[in-house]
Amino acid sequence: MGQITEMILMMSISRRSVLLICLLVLSSHAFAQKNKKIIQTDIIEIITKKVPLPEGAPPQKGKKVAFTIIPATTQSGGKQILVSSINAAFIIGHEEKTNFSSVFFLPYTDFSENFGFGLKYNLFTPRNVWNIPGEFRVSTLTQYSFGLGGGTTQSDQFRLTFDNIRFNASANYNLYDHIFGGMGLAYDRNFSVGVSEIPSLPGEFEKYGIGTKTSYSATGITFNLLHDNRKNSINPSDGLFVLGMLRVNPSWLSNEDLWTSFFLDWRRYYRLDDPKRKIIAVSAYYWGSYGKVPYFNLPGTQLDINGRSGRGYPLARFRGRHMFYAEGEYRFDISRNGLFGGVGFLNIQIMSEPLTNKFEYINPAVGFGARVKFNKKSDTNLAIDFGFAPGAFNFYIGLGEWF
């Protein structure tokens, strides 16, 4: 009887053990499924899988430079401009200790009045010892302007045509952790400047009178203080970017008079806790100018050093001596593999008024956009955005995020 009782007890323990082991296996499998890494993909990978390699071709190895090429658009002078946006992203040095560097080549034309070539770069040397941002541009442009202030209307519109050479270059040294300090050179030259479609003579352009001749140049020295802990500036997942830049343009550097400008740029990225990529990105900047500032160097819509403000409004829609800008964007993946995504955004811009120097008008815009992963190595997206503003609508096609 005791043996039977012992056998029943052992069988009961064995069943419980088997049941416990099964539960552990199932729970570990479920945990593994939950934490299984989602494999990302992009357009390049899809195309290369569809197109077989020639026989005898060597296997593709990890490339140090990721190239992305796509047609893009912008608007100037009321016309849509075709831009060939070519991006090269790479890391100079150890991947874990060095940020992504990027170079954008931007040849553009509307096959009529606007054509030129632009080059923008943001380089990080090994271990982020130096940050070297810059821009070079040669162009012939047609641009609408509306005078100064945030309360201008369509009836104030006039047309500017000009040739432009722009060169900006800085070298910032890593002072501590993600903090950089440095100097740079900024050069602008506008020539063959012409004005048409003026509502009345003299117009606002002639009344302003500084930098409004048929040709002028402005040369300045910049002093920079930067904090940037973003791993990838093309498409940041998290991090903080803060830039303070003081530009001094003394008369002994080919300027007609001494003038200065100050640019304070703040950007913050918050990644939400979700299996899919979801990010809240916030950006704000203040841009002020002081002294006898040339008309084309005044703060304005999409005239900042990044050329990324006021989605929804055309280039140079608002202009003034002082500008405050803020934008918020929600970025999200639609597909789990990151191939398709979307954004929604809201922005405001406020210009100082020419007579009072006060901020009186708020000009808002809203919009949405679609994202397609073009290159997962550099995390570069093909971006298609639609912006809506009072009395204006614009769409944008390009590479990378707006900020």
Closest C-alpha to 250, from 263, 264, 260: 260
Long-range contacts of the stretch 153-156 (C-beta < 8 A, 24+): 154/391, 155/199, 156/199, 156/204
Residue 41 has pLDDT above 60, yes or no: yes
* pLDDT over 70 (residue 399): yes
Does the pLDDT value for residue 220 go beyond 80?
A: yes
Give the Cα separation of 229 and 177 in Å (integer).
9
Of the listed ranges 1-15, 77-91, 151-165, 194-208, the least confidently predicted one is 1-15
89 CB neighbour count, 10 Å cutoff: 23
Cis peptide before 58 (omega within 30 of 0): no
Q: How confident is the model at residue 37, as a pLDDT?
A: 55
- Residue from 281, 279, 278 nearest 240 by CA: 281
| Whether 381 contacts 401, CB under 8 Å | yes
Q: Cα(28)–Cα(89) distance, rounded to whole angstroms?
A: 39
Residue scoring higher pLDDT (37 or 98): 98
pTM above 0.85, yes or no: no
How far, in Å, CA of 396 to CA of 382, rounded? 11
Q: Looking at the predicted structure, is the pLDDT value of residue 360 above 60? A: yes
In the three-class reduction of DSSP (H, G, I as helix; E, B as strand; rest coil), residue 369 is classed as strand
Tell me, rounded to whole angstroms, the distance of Cα 61 from its chain centroid: 30
Lowest mean pLDDT among 189-198, 322-331, 382-391: 189-198
204: phi then psi, degrees, rounded to nearest 5: -60, -30
Taking a C-beta distance cutoff of 8 angstroms, is the pair 355, 385 a contact?
no
Tokens of 286: 């203040």
pLDDT digits (tens, 9 = 90+) for 16-38: 444 433 433 344 344 334 444 56
DSSP 8-state secondary structure symbol assigned to residue 327: E
Count CA atoms within 13 Å of residue 96 on its CB side.
0
Residue with tokens 């809201």: 346
Least confident stretch, 105-109, 136-140, 341-345, 366-370: 105-109
Mind listing the pLDDT tens digit for each residue in 263-286?
999 999 999 988 889 999 999 999
Task: With cut-offs at 50, 70 and 90, classify the pLDDT of residue 206.
Answer: confident
The answer for residues whose C-beta is within 8 angstroms of residue 228's C-beta and 6 or more apart is 99, 131, 178, 180, 239, 240, 241, 242, 243
Task: Please check whether residue 298 is in contact with residue 289, taking contact to mean a CB–CB distance below 8 angstroms.
Answer: yes
As a whole-number percent, the residues of the chain with pLDDT over 90 amount to 55
- DSSP annotation of 297 reads G
What CA–CA distance (Å, rounded) separates 238 from 62? Answer: 25
What pLDDT, on the 0 to 100 scale, is given for residue 32? Answer: 39
227 pLDDT above the threshold of 90? yes
- For the domain 136-399, what is the CATH code? 2.40.160.50
What's the angle, vertex CA 298, arms to CA 289 and CA 221, rounded to 5?
Answer: 60
Where residue 44 falls among pLDDT bands split at 50, 70, 90?
Answer: low
Backbone angles phi, psi at 219, to 5 degrees: -125, 130
pLDDT of residue 57: 45
Q: Degrees (nearest 5) of the Cα angle 249, 297, 355?
A: 105
- Average pLDDT over the chain, rounded to whole? 83
Residue 11's identity, in one-letter code, is: M
Helix (H) or strand (E) holding 70: strand 65-76
Q: How do the domains of the chain map onto residue ranges?
A: 136-399
pLDDT at 42 over 90: no
111-124 pLDDT, tens per residue? 777 888 889 999 99
DSSP state of 210: S
For the purposes of burial, counting CB atoms within 10 Å of the CB of 198, is it exposed (0-12), middle (13-18) or buried (19 or more)? middle
Average pLDDT over residues 147-158: 93
Structure-block tokens of residue 135: 């821009």
- Give first-to-last CA distance, the chain, whole Å: 81
Contact 271, 279 (CB under 8 A): yes
| Cβ-contact 326, 283 below 8 angstroms | yes
